[in-house]
Structure 1
Amino acid sequence: MGQQAITLLQLNQKIKGIIDDAMLSSIWVKAEIGELRVNRNGHCYLDLVEKDEAGDHLVARSRAIIWAQNFRMLKAYFESTTGQPLTTGLKILVKVTVQFQEVFGLSLIISDIDPSYTMGDLARKRREVLMRLEEEGVIDMNKELELPAVVQKIAIISSPTAAGYGDFVNQLENNPYGIKFYYHLFPAIMQGEKAETSIAGAFERVFEYAGFFDAVVLIRGGGATIDLLCFDSYWVAYHIAQFPLPVITGIGHERDESVADLVANTMLKTPTAVAAFLIERAATFLQMIDEKAFMLADMVRDIIEKEKQRTANFANAYVPLVKMDLQKRKSRLDRMMGRLPVSVSHRMGKEKYVIQRFGERTKNATSSIFNGNRQLLIQYKTNLRVFPSRFLHASRQKLDFLEQSVHFNDPQHLLKRGYSLTYVDGKLVKDISMINKGEQTTTRFIDGEVTGTVESIKKYKNRN
């Protein structure tokens, strides 16, 4: 072990000397707050980080401290200027002094902060989100949807415990016009790290019932600027811009519009302003309907009066025409009555002649049919005399043929001709497949029987 070595303390003292000699004080540093905590003594401890351009990986990290006395002033200054507290995720511009201690290592002591840098970074992020939505061609999609004249079936995205939600529902239900609104809450977290995912998920649940609702209302009851950052996020704005129903926002902020407001179909400041907008819109429609109804009633009354006058004029002109027509018809009937006796007598003579002719034709036809049927009966009588003897002779010939066939097919007759019959177990063998080797057979001849055992079997090919 010939190498020379120094202690850890000596090494840290050398590092501290190098840093002290470098006089790294009053340096403005840009960083992102990765973690922040305040202890019971009022000192603020921060974990400052820097990420790559994609924002996925850390490229630098350092501890920082704001001592209690300085932290009280910087905190109040930052919040009053930006409208939001110091919290994780914010990018800040701070004046630091680099300090190295042998026990605690490297620390950055923060002595000042520039709130305008943080505000500019938030505005930059908003601009980037808007530019991305515009490049994707979706930024005006929801604005181009036509908002119904009466928005009566409403999907609400809000926190169920938010005061703004309660005010909105109360104002709808107790509107002075007695208009009935149908609404359903799709609950979502409206601030914090999970707000962006929760709101996007609520829009996806509303989408499943998009055919039922007229519009979507996105509301919350106001809050600090940092609580409303989720409404500047890309995914919330993306879901609003591409949603197939008009989206109305009432986020409750007093600053400039959020990205969600800019891409929504209709933007209003507060939940109560949204409720008032929907109520007045429906009331305006009802008023228009009432006005149209009055106009229609006036038009109908005018038409009825005109038709009454027209009917009266027509009636006055119609009476003489009716009298003239009746007189013409009466004269025509009188002429017809005068001609009726002659017409009836002529018609009766004509019909009498027709009946006489029909009687003569009927008599001749009956005689002809009678003579034809007589000849037919004579023919049937002749056939009845001849048919039985012919039928009996044919039946006798058929029986003789059947008797002869039975005689020729009698086994005894076949045996006389030199044929034999072979049986196995009492069954007549009709082909070789019914006999097995070793079985006992009985062969019958005309004058006796022979019993034997099968020693071999030879099968011939099929013969036609």
Structure 2
Amino acid sequence: MSPIRLSDLAFTIEAVLDEAFTGRTVWVIAETSDIKNYPDRQYCFLTLVERDTGGKRETLARLDATIWRRQYHLIRAFEQATGVAFARNIQLLLRVAVSYNAVYGLRLDIQQIDHSYTLGNLERERQAILDALVKDHPELVWQQDGQYFTANQVLPQPTVWQRIALISAPGSDGLRDFRHELANNAFGYQIEVDEYLSQIQGQGAEKAIAAQLARIREKAADYDAVVIVRGGGSQLDFGSFDTYLMGETVAGFPIPVLAGIGHERNISITDLLCHASVKTPTKAAAFLIEHNRQFEEKCLYLRDRLINASRQTMQSASDTLKTDIDRLRYALFGFIRNRQTELTEKTVIIRHLDPANVLKRGYALLIKNGKIVTKAGHLHPNDTIQIRLADETVQATVRENQLIK
């Protein structure tokens, strides 16, 4: 058989493909690989692959693909819809047009990306991780009434947040926002923060974060909580927080973990299993401040109650004392009045019984040896006695029971 020129073979392949695919598009399922994105020029070159679902993950097919300027908006739309950066190793459902060029070879021109397929895959992967955590670590993660609970979530919060371990990327917007909100709180609260700087997103981030958590675990007694923040405006690449490793580490961490990883619509596994989750680093700082503010308000409320109770008690005691004083005064006046009456009566009696007054009424006192004689038996013949009368005293001698002067 006579050989043909390479160009003739290329043109033949082009003709066959044109006849088969011109004016047609097909939906394919493929995984992204080797992405070369040029945002300034608004086109993207990438490789689509299909891998064996077995343990070896061998490549079964590989084709080059492009996203040209007129479809470049598909990338941004995909990222906004899924919250996932358009990067390698993502399973996609794509509508493509098959093209062939004698110089550049076979290429798939991407016309459409089905967001729901990717979201479904992500949710299935996420659910598989949660199911595995519940199965592998029932003491750390469990379900009740369709809701996930973790050992970290049931840890008690301290009365006041005082010392925090902060995990964030060095020099990141999230780190600055958290620090600024904490330092400039309206109440002047001081919370000590130790920084554990780490890679937060991208390949290997989950291991870097887990390593910092391991460091903090060794000094867990020094901290009230761990705060993980991520910022910078991007909401796309937080896949490191949606992994088995992060879920296991956060769920069983011995002190409360607060996540403020800067996402808007997605709830990651870390968000779901940590002690508390907020949307941004600023809100994470506000969460701590609000908790401390609630404690202060409770103290102020109790102080006011104590002051009011003290005032009421003092007023009640004052009223009771005044009443008791009035009652005592009245009782004292009555007692004195009664004693005065008794004294007057006794004075009259004493006055009547005064020997001088008795003598005036014709009585006399017999006195022997300085003592008043009250019985006849006390007198004996020849006793010398004094007879006291009202006006004078006379002396007499007892003689045979007859008185002689």
* TM-score, scaled relative to structure 1: 0.58
Contact 2:44–2:66, Cα closer than 8 Å, also in 1: yes
Task: Give the counterpart of 2:210 among 196, 200, 218.
Answer: 200
SS in 2 for 1:23: helix
Task: Give the counterpart of 1:254 among 244, 260, 264.
Answer: 264
The equivalences for 1:265-344 within 5 A come to 265-293=275-303
Task: Give the counterpart of 2:253 among 224, 238, 243.
Answer: 243
Q: What's 1:23 paired with?
A: 20
Tell me by how many angstroms 1:67 deviates: 5.2
Q: What's 2:179 paired with?
A: 169
Contact 1:191–1:230, Cα closer than 8 Å, also in 2: yes
Q: Letter of the 2:28 partner, please give it.
A: V
| Alpha-carbon separation, structure 2, partners of 1:41 and 1:155 | 43
The answer to whether 1:62 aligns with 2:62 is yes
Tell me by how many angstroms 1:21 deviates: 8.4
Q: Letter of the 1:49 partner, please give it.
A: V
SS in 1 for 2:259: strand
Q: What's 1:121 paired with?
A: 121
| Alpha-carbon separation, structure 2, partners of 1:252 and 1:21 | 48
Tell me by how many angstroms 1:112 deviates: 2.7
Tell me by how many angstroms 1:273 deviates: 1.6
SS in 1 for 2:122: helix
Q: What's 2:394 paired with?
A: none
| Alpha-carbon separation, structure 2, partners of 1:169 and 1:236 | 24
Contact 1:237–1:263, Cα closer than 8 Å, also in 2: yes
Moved more, 69-78 or 276-285: 69-78
Q: Letter of the 1:226 partner, please give it.
A: L
Contact 1:153–1:212, Cα closer than 8 Å, also in 2: yes
| Alpha-carbon separation, structure 2, partners of 1:180 and 1:43 | 50
Q: 1:280 to 1:85 in 2, by over 3 A?
A: closer
Q: What's 1:87 paired with?
A: 87
| Alpha-carbon separation, structure 1, partners of 2:28 and 2:106 | 15
Q: Deviations over 1:84-120 (max 9, x none)?
A: 5522222211123445556555433333322222222
The answer to whether 1:34 aligns with 2:44 is no
Q: Deviations over 1:289-324 (max 9, x none)?
A: 344455567778859x98x98xx99xx9xxxxxxxx
Q: Letter of the 1:23 partner, please give it.
A: A
5+ long unaligned stretches in structure 2: 142-148, 329-405
SS in 2 for 1:111: strand
Q: Letter of the 2:6 partner, please give it.
A: L
Tell me by how many angstroms 1:155 deviates: 0.6
Tell me by how many angstroms 1:125 deviates: 2.0
Of Structure 1 and Structure 2, the greater helix share is in 1
Q: Letter of the 2:57 partner, please give it.
A: H
Q: What's 2:170 paired with?
A: 160
Tell me by how many angstroms 1:244 deviates: 0.8
Q: What's 2:109 paired with?
A: 109
Aligned sequence identity (%): 33
Q: Deviations over 1:429-461 (max 9, x none)?
A: xxxxxxxxxxxxxxxxxxxxxxxxxxxxxxxxx
Q: What's 1:231 paired with?
A: 241
Tell me by how many angstroms 1:189 deviates: 1.5
SS in 2 for 1:167: helix
Moved more, 199-208 or 280-289: 280-289
Q: 1:144 to 1:5 in 2, by over 3 A?
A: farther
SS in 2 for 1:226: coil
Q: What's 1:186 paired with?
A: 196
Q: 1:200 to 1:296 in 2, by over 3 A?
A: same
Q: Letter of the 2:271 partner, please give it.
A: D
Q: Letter of the 1:65 partner, please give it.
A: A
Tell me by how many angstroms 1:35 deviates: 1.4
Q: 1:12 to 1:245 in 2, by over 3 A?
A: farther
Q: Letter of the 1:277 partner, please give it.
A: F
Q: What's 2:274 paired with?
A: 264
Tell me by how many angstroms 1:14 deviates: 10
Q: Letter of the 1:155 partner, please give it.
A: A
SS in 1 for 2:30: strand
Contact 2:52–2:60, Cα closer than 8 Å, also in 1: no
Tell me by how many angstroms 1:77 deviates: 3.9
Contact 2:126–2:242, Cα closer than 8 Å, also in 1: yes
| Alpha-carbon separation, structure 2, partners of 1:161 and 1:134 | 36
Q: What is the alpha-carbon root mean square deviation over aligned residues?
A: 3.6
Contact 2:85–2:237, Cα closer than 8 Å, also in 1: no
Q: Deviations over 1:130-184 (max 9, x none)?
A: 2222222233331121121212111111123122222222222333333221110
Tell me by how many angstroms 1:19 deviates: 5.6
| Alpha-carbon separation, structure 2, partners of 1:211 and 1:8 | 77
Contact 1:222–1:253, Cα closer than 8 Å, also in 2: no
Tell me by how many angstroms 1:76 deviates: 4.4
Q: 1:124 to 1:59 in 2, by over 3 A?
A: same
SS in 1 for 2:188: coil
SS in 2 for 1:161: coil
Contact 1:33–1:46, Cα closer than 8 Å, also in 2: yes
The answer to whether 1:52 aligns with 2:49 is no
Contact 2:18–2:99, Cα closer than 8 Å, also in 1: no
| Alpha-carbon separation, structure 1, partners of 2:44 and 2:55 | 25
Q: What's 1:211 paired with?
A: 221
| Alpha-carbon separation, structure 2, partners of 1:126 and 1:189 | 22
Q: 1:78 to 1:270 in 2, by over 3 A?
A: closer
| Alpha-carbon separation, structure 2, partners of 1:252 and 1:168 | 11
- Counting matched residue pairs gives 309
| Alpha-carbon separation, structure 2, partners of 1:173 and 1:77 | 38
Q: Deviations over 1:19-52 (max 9, x none)?
A: 6388255221111111111468654221112233
Tell me by how many angstroms 1:245 deviates: 0.7
Q: Letter of the 1:224 partner, please give it.
A: S
5+ long unaligned stretches in structure 1: 317-464
Contact 1:19–1:98, Cα closer than 8 Å, also in 2: no
Q: Using CA pairs below 8 Å that are at least 6 residues apart, which structure has the higher relative contact order?
A: 2
| Alpha-carbon separation, structure 1, partners of 2:43 and 2:189 | 57
